[in-house]
A and B are shown apart, each in its own frame.
Chain A
Amino acid sequence: MNEQNSTVMSKVERYYKDYGIRARELKKEGKTVISYLCSLVPMEIITAAGLVPFRIRGNVNEPITKGDTNLETIACPFIRSCFDLSVKGWYDFCDGIVIPHGCDSMTRPYSTWRYTLGLPYSHFINVPHTVSGPSMEFFTEELNTFRKSLGRFAQKEIADSDLIEAIDLYNENRDKAKALYDLRKSDPPLISGTEMSKILTVGMSLPVTEANELFAEVLEELTQRKEAPVHKAPRIMVDGACIDNIDFVKLIEDSGANVVVDSLCIGTRDYLPHTDVGGDPLDALAHRYLDKINCPRTYREKAEGAYEKDLTARFGDIGSLGKEFKVDGVILYVYKYCDPFGFEVPARKAYLDSLNIPVLYLEDEYSAGIIGRLRTRIQAFLEMIE
């Protein structure tokens, strides 16, 4: 399809299929591209430095080969795929990489990433594990270290005003993502889960101003849709770590359900929380990335000595989304070797049970070649809740 005839969704499709194409173009134009892993890297700081943030994603259709010569196969398969693509040169337009302390699979091999890719810039952000006064103070200092380090690389002092401007742009992006999510509240939803996954994934590959423009165009087109792209069907939430491809969501939808909401990275976990405005921008970023992003790698204090209340404190956002989007069931999707999520499976299931929401737990290996084996279990689950 040529550019003139393309709709905004075909543009999304192009950016999704050739992930990084825009960042590559920007690199050719002389921009500096900084790649990163995980939802815990404050993209605002990279943008404020005048650089282009680019989220590394894996690819379930690409067998992991070259990466295994330097990274053990006992690492999370999603991270292995990200590493494999990186060493194969898929993201060779990047000038640097930023890795946060998300989990062992991304943290322990930091040196492996750093030296194997040999990029001009690399940085590790030490995200604490607890949410408290001292940990917040520490994390603010740690973000300031990142700000100074990146500023040295970019040869630009990152001023508070730069950060405030970037925070506003990302908050605008989150408003638009929220508006897209709202389109899924109707039954049937006005946007399929597969379409949504593509849009959100693509958003992580663009400068925020371009992502905002793209999301605005998508919103404009989708709100004019006369008919929903899908039929009425069981409404499913996907809960888990990071899903950066459409294959799993498509498998669920092909099995006869509509994925209407998620609790995922590259999903509500990182697209919905706003950064507070009006105060110190670095404090606000520390608060957003440590406290507001509800990832199991961050320990949350036990609430008032009651385990049930503790579950609500840890997983209440999942319950709220389930209610808001009227879900009929939750599919908890966890990658093999994922310690942060893996140790939460019984508790997450118990919480959903307490809300009388049916839940299906699936463990997978981040490979399109074997994802189909989950189809039977998904179909059985859908039959059960229908």
Chain B
Amino acid sequence: MAEEEKKQERKKRRTATEAASSIGAMVKAAIGGTVKAKEEGKKLAYSFIVCSYDEIIRAMDVVPVWTENYAGVCGAKRDAERFLERAESQSFSRSLCTYALCGLGFDQWREELGEMPPDAPWGGQARPDFMLSSGQILCDPRNKWYQAAQQYMPDVPIYDVGLPYPLYEDDIEVADVQDYYIKYIVAELRGLVKFLEEQTGKKMDYDRLSELVDLGERTWNLIWETYELRRAVPTPMGTGDAMNTMVPMVFMMGTQEAYDFYLDLNKELKDKIARKEGVVEDEKYRLLWGGGLPSWFALTDFNYFNSKGAVFPVETTYRMIEPIYRLNMPDTNDPIERLAWRWLGYWTYWYDKAKKRPGSEPDVERLIQYIEDYQIDGVVMHEAFSCRTWHLGLIWQLNQLRKIYKPIPVLILGQDGKKGEEKRELPSLILESDIIDISTYSEVDTRNRIDAFIETLEQVRKNKADRR
């Protein structure tokens, strides 16, 4: 198919904010920038998002190649299939993480050709000088992907950064274990600095690293404050846009560009709120995107929700920040220690809240908080078949929510001290597909399910109105 025809087929998705609209060009420039950086002899590192090493990489002038991002771009451009098939031909099961499969298929092809695969999306993914794996509780492929890629690039070394955090337990407080967690994370990050110094031949400038960590922390706070503006009714920005505006958060942390982006977004949202300008003209249903990565090739599904008057003022996906000032970080001038505390603080942020509700759990508490803060009418999740990281536990979380948001009347005590009855039913929908494997997706089926969900929301609304 000619390039012109392809362009006509995939029109640019409509976004609510100018900020979200600007992201495509930003990502394209970043990917093109890595290819150019390679030509200029700069050091490139295959990197994963949410690994707490962003500022370290930036301070060492290493250019990150965000491999998950490139796979997502291939998916969004509906051009991942040929790379997935190539990985499959190498004996990788199609049931594995398709980000990784796409990346491995691409790498194998590029290494076989000695140049970029034909018509590689946005110029292709540049060959790295080294790869930064990450051993977390979070994601097996982060520990295996680059090791598998070494089969095609045996000369490219790996540093695997261990980044654990304690899981929530009833009988153990974070304070009981945090010292040895921090000690280990700090050791791993210092090991990374040493590795980068060896690979680049230059020493870490710790004053510069401190500045970047400080900038990163200010960016976290700014993002949180900005995203909280979406509580407004009508909401000025939805999850569809947030799947764009997450780019500076997870791919550009520790840069002035990221900070400035959120300053602009903050202003744009405040202006919209002042004008009472929402994502849709007539906001009927406020939904929580309660878990799961989106289908990058089907982000227009968010527009479809919008067309029914449904908006997503909040999501758990890619909201990878909490206000720094609430993370109980100890005073330290050591930027490596600050990164370690930030990591631990983020992942255990909701633990205290869960302790206060026996039988609860941090992820569920987070959902409850968002449901209340953002005046949510329903919850939507997405189960991507190839990713266990973000998609296991979602059904159970919904089941837990149903215990609180019951379809039967519950007794409540009003602020005036009077007893009353309230039906707090909260419909939910789980969409099923994948992050980039389009063969798992049916637009007709998906939209039928959305239609049925909207009808349920409408029925719940009518029931509530009837009771009044």
**A complexed with B:** yes
Which of B91, B97, B154 gathers the greatest number of chain A CB atoms within 10 Å? B91
- Decide yes or no: A104 and B388 within 8 Å by CB, A126-B166, A345-B91, A345-B93 being known contacts: yes
Q: Cβ of A154 < 8 Å from any Cβ of B?
A: no
B147 partner residues in chain A, CB cutoff 8 A:
299, 343-344, 347
Contact with A along B367-389 (1 / 0, CB 8 A): 00000000000000001111111
> Interface stretch among A35-43, A54-62, A135-143?
A135-143
Out of B150, B177, B394, name the residue touching A310 (CB < 8 Å): B150
Whether the Cβ atoms of A104 and B93 lie closer than 8 Å is no
Q: B148–A344 contact, CB under 8 A?
A: yes
Q: A337–B383 Cα gap in the complex (Å)?
A: 14
User: Which among B141, B144, B148, B158 is the interface contact of A302 at CB below 8 angstroms?
Assistant: B158
Q: B199 interface residue, CB < 8 Å from A? A: no
Once bound together, how far apart are the Cα atoms of A71 and B369, in whole Å? 24
Docked-complex contact A104 and B389, CB < 8 angstroms: yes
User: Within 8 Å CB of A346, what residues of B?
Assistant: 90-92, 148, 151
> In whole angstroms, how far apart are the Cα atoms of A110 and B361 in the complex?
11
Residue of A nearest to B190 (CB): A134
The stretch that binds B, out of A111-119, A191-199, A216-224, A257-265, is A111-119
Q: Which of B93, B139, B384, B387 contacts A334 (CB 8 A)?
A: B93
- What residues on B are CB-neighbors of A305 within 8 Å? 155, 157
In the complex, the answer to whether B184 meets A128 with C-beta atoms within 8 Å is yes
Which stretch from B167-175, B410-418, B460-468 is at the chain A interface? B167-175
Check B140–A104 contact: CB distance below 8 A: yes
Are A337 and B388 in touch, CB under 8 angstroms? yes
- Report A-chain residues with C-beta under 8 Å of the C-beta of B150: 302, 307, 310
**How many angstroms from the CA of A122 to the CA of B164 in the assembled complex?**
19
CA distance A276 to B341 in the complex (A): 35
- B97's partner among A149, A339, A345, A350 (CB-CB below 8 A) is A339
Q: Once the chains bind, are A128 and B135 in contact (CB under 8 Å)?
A: yes
Q: B152's closest neighbor in chain A, by CB? A: A346
CB of B188 within 8 Å of the partner chain: yes
A129 within 8 Å of B (CB atoms): yes
B96 an interface residue at 8 Å Cβ cutoff? Answer: yes
Q: Is A361 an interface residue (CB 8 A)?
A: yes
Asked whether A128 and B164 contact (CB < 8 A) given A101-B137, A135-B184, A340-B144, the answer is yes
Cβ contact within 8 Å between B393 and A74: no
Instruction: Give Cα distance in the complex from A342 to B101, angstroms.
Output: 11
A145 touches B177 (CB 8 A): yes
Q: Within 8 Å CB of B90, what residues of A?
A: 346
Known A72-B383, A111-B393, A307-B154: A134·B184 in contact at CB below 8 Å: yes
B394 nearest in chain A by CB position: A72
B369 to chain A, nearest CB (A): 17
Provide the residues of chain A in CB contact with B93, threshold 8 Å: 334, 336, 342, 345, 363
Number of A-B contacts (CB under 8 A): 177
Q: How many Å lie between the Cα of A342 and that of B145 in the bound state?
A: 10
- For chain A residues 296-314, which have a beta carbon within 8 Å of chain B? 296-297, 299, 302, 305-307, 310
- In the complex, which residues of chain B have a beta carbon less than 8 angstroms from the beta carbon of A101? 137, 164
Chain B residues 6-26 with CB under 8 Å of chain A are: none
Q: Which residues of A have CB within 8 Å of B201?
A: none
Q: Smallest distance from the beta carbon of A382 to chain B beta carbons, Å?
A: 20
The residue of chain A having its C-beta at the shortest distance from the C-beta of B387 within the complex is A74
Mark out the residues of chain A between 266 and 307 whose CB falls within 8 Å of any chain B CB in the assembled complex.
296-297, 299, 302, 305-307
- Tell me which residues across on chain B come within 8 A of A105, comparing CB atoms: 388, 392
Chain B proximity of A97: nearest CB distance (Å) = 12
Q: Kindly identify which residue among A111, A122, A124, A297 contacts B361, using a CB–CB cutoff of 8 Å.
A: A111
Chain A residues near B385: list those with CB within 8 A: 74
- A110 cross-chain contacts in B, Cβ below 8 A: 167
* B residues less than 8 Å from A310 (CB atoms): 150
CB neighbours of B168 from chain A (8 A): 111
Q: Which residues of B contact A344 (CB under 8 A)?
A: 144, 147-148
Query: Is B162's CB within 8 Å of the partner chain A?
Result: yes
Q: 0/1 per residue, B343-380, Cβ < 8 Å to A?
A: 00000000000000001010100000000000000000
Q: Which residues of B contact A307 (CB under 8 A)?
A: 150-151, 154-155
Residue of B nearest to A101 (CB): B137
Q: Which residues of B contact A132 (CB under 8 A)?
A: 191
What is the CB-to-nearest-CB distance from A149 to chain B, in angstroms, rounded to a whole number? Answer: 6
Q: Which of A115, A135, A343, A347 contacts B396 (CB 8 A)?
A: A115
Tell whether A74 pairs with B157 under 8 Å between CB atoms, given A344-B144, A344-B148, A350-B151: no
Question: A103 at the A/B interface (Cβ < 8 Å)?
Answer: yes
B95 close to chain A: CB less than 8 A = yes
| Minimum distance in angstroms from B311 CB to a CB of chain A | 27
In the assembled complex, which residues on chain B have CB atoms less than 8 Å from the CB atom of A103?
Answer: 140
Distance between B147 CB and nearest chain A CB, rounded to angstroms? 7
User: Residue B256 at the A interface, CB < 8 A?
Assistant: no
B229 within 8 A of A: no
Find out whether the CB atom of A361 lies under 8 angstroms from the CB atom of B91.
yes
Query: Binary interface profile of A, 337-364, with partner B (CB < 8 Å = 1, else 0)?
Result: 1011011111101100000000001010
The interface residues of chain A lying within 8 Å CB-to-CB of B392 are: 71-72, 74-75, 104-105, 108-109, 112
Q: Is the CB of A111 within 8 A of B97?
A: no
Residues of A within 8 A of B145 (CB): 343
Q: Does B222 contact A (CB under 8 A)?
A: no
Q: Could you write out 5 A-B pairs with CB less than 8 Å apart?
A: A101-B137, A111-B393, A134-B187, A306-B154, A344-B148
10 tightest A-B CB contacts, nearest first: A129-B135, A307-B154, A134-B187, A343-B144, A138-B184, A108-B392, A339-B140, A104-B388, A141-B180, A112-B396
Task: Give the interface of B toward A (CB within 8 A).
Answer: 90-93, 95-97, 100, 133, 135-137, 139-141, 143-145, 147-148, 150-151, 154-155, 157-158, 160, 162, 164, 166-172, 176-177, 180-181, 183-184, 187-188, 191, 359, 361, 363, 383-389, 391-396, 399-400
9 additional A-B pairs beyond A126-B137, A135-B162, beta carbons within 8 Å, are: A105-B392, A111-B167, A138-B181, A145-B176, A152-B171, A299-B160, A337-B95, A339-B96, A339-B141
